[in-house]
């Protein structure tokens, strides 16, 4: 604990009580008699060479003539503490404090005993007395609250100290530990809101609040805080989040691009916000094609974040708009760059190739994925479709016959298999099988209706 380090630095110097040197321990030892003086200094000498029992004998002599001398009781406490006689040590420090309650070192002695014995309940009582004499001991109180899992009190005191004397790494570590427990999330959010109201120009509070909302996935609230930050501190990087949205709504593409570029380049701004911003600009660029080059740059920046499947989402966007070439471009990138990609993206890529009549790509890609995913029927289907279109009917038929057995509870896909099998048989001149497969496809289509 921070303050204890300072305490031992002062108390340890040659074993002499600091109040002999300055008004940090008892002001002055009254030497009424030579006998008392000799006994007291004998005690200091014996303590200095760690003869604590002999020091206690000398101090007992002092008590006979000066029973109410706080310095003697304090020295008794230090020697008892060194001998780990904790009850006697505490009683001696307590007696010294009762004689001179304004001397913090007597209370420090009592606190040292409670710390050594892990008597945190008594330690909190002593610390509250110490804090009245020296507020620095609030740091120790935070640590004791943490040791006793009194997280409500610890969090309240941490916030108070952060506001009054600034943050420390130790307190921030404590705070992270407390806030890792969900029940304190709302407490911290309420605190940050009040801090923003009190100190509207302090950017860190906005950023902390945005982070808390991010942990709860409350994107709308994150944006609300960013908007408030923009009003108070327009130069903030986080403020650009709000400005971007404003520019988009005003159809001011150039200003929106500038704000977006600041945000995407920032190391402070949460990736969820960046992701949402990119999606908004994607829609905007879809309506305003002249900003597609800016979109490309933004996508390139976002692709460096492995947590966001940017290429896949952009591909999906263009797929829904039936812009097949652009969909292909981003699906291909997604397939190459995204680990653990869902099978949906390769399937949509194959369909995009089909819409563009790029059947060589359809057949080759599908065949490669059949080898990688041998129980996935869609890849057999597209391999068969592609080879049919390339008039390689025997190859198409082999893939289709192998893949149809993997179709489960998907009558539309199964019907498409039979249609392609009919095409294969037609190309091979087997009219009987052709009619058989077309008939099965018709039955499935009618049943679906």
- Separation of alpha carbons 185 and 181, rounded Å: 7
Judge contact between 319 and 348, C-beta under 8 A. yes
- Residue 10: pLDDT band with limits 50, 70, 90: very low
Which of 181-190, 290-299, 312-321, 380-389 is most confident?
380-389
CA distances from 349 to 104, 136, 240, 337 (A): 76, 65, 35, 14
pLDDT of residue 339: 67
pLDDT of residue 252: 92
Q: How open is the CA angle 245-240-326, to the nearest 5 degrees? A: 55
- Separation of alpha carbons 235 and 259, rounded Å: 11
- Separation of alpha carbons 145 and 1, rounded Å: 12
pLDDT of residue 190: 82
In this model, does residue 84 exceed pLDDT 90? yes
Q: Where do we find the tokens 């190459």?
A: 336
Question: For 373, phi and psi rounded to 5 degrees?
Answer: -130, 75
Q: Please tell me whether the overall predicted TM-score, pTM, comes out greater than 0.85 for this model.
A: no
pLDDT of residue 8: 34
84-87 contacts at long range (C-beta below 8 A, 24 or more positions apart): 84/116, 86/113, 86/116, 86/117
CATH of 1-148, one of 1.10.260.40, 1.25.40.10, 1.10.357.10, 1.20.200.10: 1.25.40.10
Query: Residue ranges of the alpha helices (H) in 14-137?
Result: 34-48, 52-65, 70-82, 86-99, 104-116, 120-133
Q: At what angle do helices 104-116 and 120-133 cross, to 10 degrees?
A: 160
pLDDT in tens, 217-232: 787 888 888 888 888 8
Mean pLDDT of 320-334: 93
pLDDT in tens, 352-387: 999 999 999 999 999 999 999 999 999 999 999 999
- Residue 103: pLDDT band with limits 50, 70, 90: very high
Mean pLDDT of 391-411: 95
Domains 1-148 and 357-449 share a fold: yes
Of the listed ranges 9-18, 76-85, 229-238, the one predicted with least confidence: 9-18
Nearest in space to 73 (alpha carbons), one of 97, 55, 51: 97
- pLDDT: is 291 or 156 the higher one? 291
Which of 50-59, 212-221, 258-267, 378-387 is most confident?
378-387
Q: What percent of the chain has pLDDT over 90?
A: 52
Torsional class of 22: left (φ above 0), alpha (ψ -120 to 50), beta (otherwise)? beta
Nearest in space to 206 (alpha carbons), one of 184, 168, 238: 238
pLDDT of residue 449: 62
Judge contact between 177 and 164, C-beta under 8 A. no
- Separation of alpha carbons 220 and 234, rounded Å: 20
Task: Say if domain 357-449 classifies as CATH 1.25.40.10.
Answer: yes
- Separation of alpha carbons 383 and 400, rounded Å: 8
Question: Residue 268, SS3?
Answer: coil
pLDDT of residue 341: 74
And the tokens for 273? 């916000």
């Amino acid at each position: 604990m921070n303050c204890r380090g300072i305490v031992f630095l002062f108390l340890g110097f040659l074993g002499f009580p600091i109040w002999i040197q300055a008004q940090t321990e008892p002001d002055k030892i009254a030497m009424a008699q030579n006998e008392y003086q000799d006994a007291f200094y004998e005690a200091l000498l014996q303590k200095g060479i760690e003869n604590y029992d002999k020091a206690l004998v000398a101090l007992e002599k002092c008590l006979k003539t000066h029973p109410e001398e706080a310095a003697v009781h304090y020295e008794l406490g230090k020697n008892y503490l060194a001998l780990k006689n904790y009850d006697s040590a505490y009683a001696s420090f307590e007696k010294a404090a009762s004689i001179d309650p304004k001397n913090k070192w007597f209370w420090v002695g009592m606190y040292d005993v409670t710390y050594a014995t892990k008597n945190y309940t008594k330690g909190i009582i002593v610390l509250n007395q110490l804090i009245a004499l020296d507020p620095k001991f609030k740091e120790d109180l935070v640590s004791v609250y943490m040791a006793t899992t009194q997280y409500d009190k610890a969090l309240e005191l941490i916030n108070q100290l952060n506001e009054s004397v600034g943050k420390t790494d130790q307190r921030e570590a404590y705070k992270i530990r407390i806030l890792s427990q969900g029940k304190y999330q709302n407490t911290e959010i309420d605190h940050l809101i009040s801090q923003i109201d009190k100190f509207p120009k302090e950017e860190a509070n906005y950023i902390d609040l945005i982070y808390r909302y991010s942990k709860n996935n409350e994107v709308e609230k994150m944006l609300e805080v960013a908007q408030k930050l923009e009003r108070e501190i327009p130069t903030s990087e986080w403020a650009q989040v709000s400005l971007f949205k404003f520019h988009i709504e005003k159809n001011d593409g150039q200003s929106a691009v500038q704000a977006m570029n600041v945000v995407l380049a920032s190391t402070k701004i949460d990736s969820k916000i960046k992701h949402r911003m990119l999606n908004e600009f994607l829609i905007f660029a879809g309506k305003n094609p002249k900003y597609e080059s800016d979109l490309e740059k933004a996508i390139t920046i976002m692709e460096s974040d492995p947590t966001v499947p940017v290429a896949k989402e952009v591909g999906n966007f263009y797929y829904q708009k039936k812009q097949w070439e652009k969909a292909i471009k981003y699906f291909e990138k997604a397939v190459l760059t995204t680990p653990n990609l869902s099978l949906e993206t390769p399937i949509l890529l194959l369909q995009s190739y089909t819409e563009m009549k790029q059947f060589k790509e359809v057949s080759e890609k599908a065949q490669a994925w059949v080898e990688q995913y041998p129980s996935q029927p869609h890849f057999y289907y597209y391999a068969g479709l592609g080879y049919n279109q390339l008039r390689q009917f025997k190859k198409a038929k082999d893939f289709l016959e192998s893949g149809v057995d993997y179709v489960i509870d998907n009558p539309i896909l199964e019907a498409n298999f039979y249609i392609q099998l009919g095409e294969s048989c037609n190309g091979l001149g087997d009219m009987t099988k052709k009619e058989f497969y077309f008939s099965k496809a018709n039955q499935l289509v009618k049943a679906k209706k």
